[in-house]
Structure 1
Amino acid sequence: MFTSENDSLMARYRFACSLAESGGKLAYEFYQQRESLQTDHKGSDLQDVVSRADREVESFVKSRIAQAFPDDGFLGEESGSTDCDKRVLWVVDPIDGTSAFLNGLHTWCLSLAIVADGEPVIGVVYDPNHHELFHACKGQGAWLNDLRIEPHAAATVVGGVMGVGTSHRVSSGDFLPFLDELLQHGGMFVRNGSGALMSAWAAAGRLIGYYEPHMNPWDGLPGIVLMREAGGATNNYLADGGLDRGNPVLLASKTLYSQLQQWVKQPLL
């Protein structure tokens, strides 16, 4: 993967954790003045909003990465891609859950992942409202601040709460059959507006899993790494052009994953 592979990976891991906290604290400063922020809509979807906070936090994160690792590529929700063909690619959403952010809800985060040689190897989600840093690196386990995390121990869906998400990028027919199966089997669900944060909660065992029929890579990849390193199972998110066009995300404990997978009606690699 790298020359001096472990040292290079760990250097990026440490930097990613520190940067997520710094970027999240900057986002929180904007959050405290959110009523004065100008917002815009992305395309025709009135639910997909962006603010000056999103752009400035991403600019901050992007500039710090360029200074520390000038040979790495970057893919951000707001600014797009720079050198995506590099062996190491940073994938960033400065504020996942912008609608929650703008409406004073505490369910948003900064999400960050690193893809090296086509494999997601680092995932970081920082929740500045609760000072919680979820972080994982390939081969190093998954952590919440300084505590090791693992998936929920439930043997069936009645043993906990499932996290779900959706967007107008997909149809209701892609999403509702999963909910119907979940409810028919006695399960329950929650949706908080941030897929990256709910994915982190699933890796930490707060939720029994997470499903969304389409996630962009800056939101989907951190949870993929977190759940794998926590000891759970995920779909192959980067298959079939996932980095370019996004893919479904399903993650859960190894015990529950196969059952949940049967309820997903769309192709799941």
Structure 2
Amino acid sequence: MQNPNLVQLLTQTIEVVVRAGQLLIAEWARMDGPRGQGDKAAVDEEIEQFLHQHLLRLLPCDFWGEETGHRLTGHSWCWVVDPNDGTADFLKGLKGSALSIGLLHEQTPVLGVVYAPVTIEGVPDCIAWAEGMAEVSRNGQPVNTRLSAKRLSSDEFVMVSAAAINKPELNSELCQPSTFVAMPSIAYRLAKVAAGEGVCGVSLYPVSAHDVVAGHALLRGAGGVLFDERGQTITYVTEAHMQTVSQRCFGGSVSACRILLAREWDRIFKEAF
């Protein structure tokens, strides 16, 4: 198969993802609230079915989805899809869950779209990048983020899970001298960092490929990294790796990630409210 033009493919992918996001917007606006409970929403599978159909038309290859399963044949290209990263928070009524669509080539994230249709700012947010682009794009505009030059500092932000709001003092301590921002969706956390809003995005829970491939691509586009809890770059080499890519992840500037991952995050789970 001839290699696709990734920049052109990104434009087509964004169109598909934004269309799929309309399903999430409509679900959010339901009179009796979104359908589902826990971490399962009915709309998630509907969105993924749409993405599965349309993405494979753009580039027929392997596919890894959260809701509809996966097909791994050893193909050099693989779509990696989370239709609604942050479902549990979405069902609790929190804004900021995101569609996360990544593309791997030879296990490397080469294209990513993270689209948050329902945000606290009140406007949809689409952050995207593909190999061949000089900069990450946000809502169609280039964003000049150089994560390699960023450091943990008092004027930077660390993006952590929405649950951090329950333990503000401890999270403040663990993220200092930067300020923590509590928000749903590790995909959107990584995307915001890639777009220049923060220095590191953190997940303290095990993540799968569908949670982070798109964000990983965006970080690559912004000169950043995605590390696991040991400080190793996250990889997607085998099916087992895809199922659980890390127990914790830290994405952003190299120096910030290294400092943060060495801190005592276990205290979050041990210390009482």
TM-score scaled by structure 1? 0.79
1:194 to 185, 189, 196: 185
Q: Secondary structure at the match of 1:100?
A: helix
> Which amino acid is the alignment partner of residue 224 of structure 2?
G
Q: Please report how far the alpha carbon of residue 185 of structure 1 lies from its aligned counterpart in structure 2 after TM superposition.
A: 4.3
Deviation at 1:105, TM superposition (A): 2.3
Equivalent of 1:76 in 57, 65, 84: 65
What is the rounded CA distance, in whole Å, between the counterparts of 2:171 and 2:96 in structure 1? Answer: 25
Q: 1:179-229, CA deviations, whole angstroms, 9 ceiling, x for partnerless residues?
A: 679538434322212111111111112122112232221111111111121
Decide whether aligned partners of structure 1 residues 36 and 254 sit closer, same or farther in structure 2, where only a CA change above 3 A counts.
closer
Distance 1:61 1:239, change over 3 A: closer
Q: In 2 relative to 1, CA 184–155 (structure 1 residues): closer, same or farther, beyond 3 Å?
A: closer
8 A contact 2:48–2:67 mirrored in 1: yes
Instruction: Tell me by how many angstroms 1:33 deviates.
Output: 1.1
Equivalent positions of 1:28-43 (< 5 A) are 28-33=25-30, 35=32, 37-41=34-38
Superposition pairs of residues 221-240 of structure 1, within 5 angstroms:
221-235=213-227, 236-238=233-235
Gaps of 5+ in 1: 42-48, 168-175
- Correspondence for 1:14: 11
Alignment of 1:126-141 (within 5 A): 126-129=115-118, 130-140=123-133, 141=135
Which residue number in structure 2 is paired with residue 219 of structure 1? 211
The corresponding residue for 2:251 is 251
Number of aligned residue pairs = 245
Structure 2 residue aligned with 1:173: none
Q: TM-score, normalising length from structure 2?
A: 0.78
Deviations 1:107-155 (A, max 9, x none): 1111110011111111110121322210011231311121224156653
Counterpart-to-counterpart distance in 1, 2:234 and 2:8: 25
When the two chains are superposed, the root-mean-square deviation of aligned CA atoms in Å is: 2.8
Q: Which runs of 5+ in 2 are unaligned?
A: 228-232, 267-273
1:258–1:104 CA distance, 2 compared to 1 (3 A): closer
Q: Could you give the per-residue CA deviations for residues 4-57 of structure 1, whole angstroms, max 9, x where no partner exists?
A: 53x44334322221111111122211211173543144xxxxxxx111111111
User: Which position in structure 1 is the counterpart of 2:138?
Assistant: 144
* Contact 2:65-2:210 within 8 A present in 1 as well: yes
Q: Structure 1 residues 252 and 206, CA, compared in 2 at 3 Å: closer, same or farther?
A: same
How many Å apart are 1:68 and its aligned residue? 3.0
Whole-Å Cα distance in 1 between the matches of residues 265 and 254 of structure 2? 20
Q: Give distance in 1, aligned partners of 2:217 and 2:257.
A: 15
Amino acid in the other structure paired with 1:112: I
CA contact (8 A) 1:151 1:208 kept: no
Distance across 1 between alignment mates of 2:31 and 2:213: 27
Helix, strand or coil for the counterpart of 1:33?
coil
1:207 aligns with 198
CA distance in 1, matches of 2:7, 2:256: 31
